Structure 1
Amino acid sequence: MNKLVILDRDGVINEDSDAYIKTVDEWIPIPGSIDAIARLSHAGFTVVVATNQSGIGRGYFDVATLDAMHDRLRALVKEQGGELGGIFYCPHGPDDGCDCRKPKSGLIDQIVTEYGDVTGVPLIGDSLRDLQAGIQRHCRPVLVLTGKGRKTLDKGLPAELGDVAVYDSLAAFVDHFLKE
C-alpha cells in the first residue's frame, strides 16, 4: 500500500468558517493537527491535502492569499520536524461544472497522477463530500468530528460509503493509526 494519507483542509487541519477562510490571520490550526501531520511524516507517510477552495472562484480571496495560507501550514509542520506533500485544491464554485470539486474525484485523480494508486489510503474529512470523493478511488474514508464533522455524522452516513471510521479529531485518528 502507498504510504500516503490524504487530508481535507478546512475543518480537519484548521478551523472552518461558513464565511470562508479568507486571510492568513483567519487560518487557525485546530489544536493538535499540525503535530499530527508531523507525526505521520516522522512515521514515513506522505501527507497530502485535497481541498475545495471556492472562495477563489467567488472572489473572496486570491491564489496568492491561498498560497500564503499554505506556506504557513508548511512552515508550522516543518517547525515540528515534519514535511507536507502536495496541496491540491479546486478553485471553482459549485456551479462551474469542473471535475475537481469534491464530491467529484478530480483532486484525488491529481493525487493518483503524482503519487500512484490510492486504494486503501486513508482520506480524512469532515464532510460527506470529502468521503464521497475518496470512496470513488477506493480510499479508506475517515470522518473527524471537528469542523462540520459532527453535523455530517448527525445527518447519517450513506451505506455506499461502507465502514467509515470516526474520530474526534485528526490528532485522535493519528494516535490510533500509528498504533495499527
Structure 2
Amino acid sequence: MELVDLTTTPAEALPLDAFKAHLRLGSGFADASLQDEVLGGYLRAALAAIEARTGKILFERVLQWRRTRWAAYGHQPLPAAPVTAIASVALRGADGVVSEVAEELYGLERDTHRPRLFALGRSLPAIAEGGEGVVTFTAGFGPSWDDIPADLQQAVQLLGAYYYEHRDDLSGPDGVMPFGVVSLLEPYRNIRVLGARA
C-alpha cells in the first residue's frame, strides 16, 4: 500500500502572517520577511504531523493510492479524508500495462472519517496477481487556510509554535505533542477497530 502526494500546498497558502502574530513576532521592520522560509517549514511540519495523526488532509491536494488487493469485493475504504472527488481508478497488471476503469463502474461514498470507493455493480474490478489498483483522488478541506476548521487551524498554530520554540531542544521524546494540540485533534481521530478491513 502506497499513498503519494501528486500536488503540494503552495507557499502562498500558508498562514505566515497569522503564524507570526501567534508567535508575537515584531512587525514593520525592514527584515520582517527574513524568517519566512523557516516559519513556513515549521508550519509544514505541523501540518504533516497533524495529518499523520488524524488521517485528515488539511489543504486540498491530489493523492494517488496503490493497493495489491481490495479490502472487500464491493468497496474499498480510502486512506484519507475528507475526499471530495475520485479522479480515476486504474488497474496495473504484473506486466506493467495500465487499464482505466470506466467511471460508471464505481462511486465515492463521502464520510467524515472513512470515505469509500464503492462498486456500482456487484464488485470492484479484480486486481490481477502481481498487479495493483491505482486510485487517484482529491482530498482536503479546501485550497485556502480559511477552508480548514477553526480548531484544526488552532492546532496547527500551536504545534508550529511548539516546534519553533523548541527548535534547539533535542532532549525531548520523539512524537510527543503538547496536550492542547492533542485535545484539539481528538474529534478528528479515526478509530480503526479492524484495521484495513473495518
Larger fraction in helix? 1
TM-score (ref. length: structure 1): 0.26
TM-score (ref. length: structure 2): 0.24
Rg larger for: 2
